[in-house]
Structure 1
Amino acid sequence: MPAAKPSKSSIQNVLDAMIAAGLEIGEIRVDANGGFTITQKRNVDKAQQGKAKLPRKFGVAGSLT
């Protein structure tokens, strides 16, 4: 039995509505049951991009013992 898939028109309707609302399309994900999820594009602040919180390493000053 072939896998379920959403119709082209159902995806297009959601895309048209998002574009009309001024949203940027980020990702389209189709599930195995035929459902789909469309997410909004996230804008990354370039100033905060390099300041990721990484876990502390063992043996480094300030780490938990």
Structure 2
Amino acid sequence: MNSTIAKTGAAIDPVSVIGFAVCMLIGFDFGSYLICMFLAFGFVMMIAGFHAESYFFHWTHD
């Protein structure tokens, strides 16, 4: 489950970066603000999944 969350977050990030760049190039400010929220959510999902699956975390907390 945690690896699925990390993979989903990792998939959201590049898509949102490309969407953000497109919105900045065409001058659509609302779209760039909206996509920035998805970028942040994807980053949090990715980091939380990586932390839950890391070896160091399991080694020190078991």
- Fold match (TM-score > 0.5): no
TM-score range, shorter chain: 0.3 to 0.5
Greater RCO (CA < 8 Å, at least 6 residues apart): 2
TM-score, length basis structure 2 = 0.36
Larger Rg: 1
The structure with the greater share of residues assigned to strand is: 1
The normalised TM-score by structure 1 is 0.35
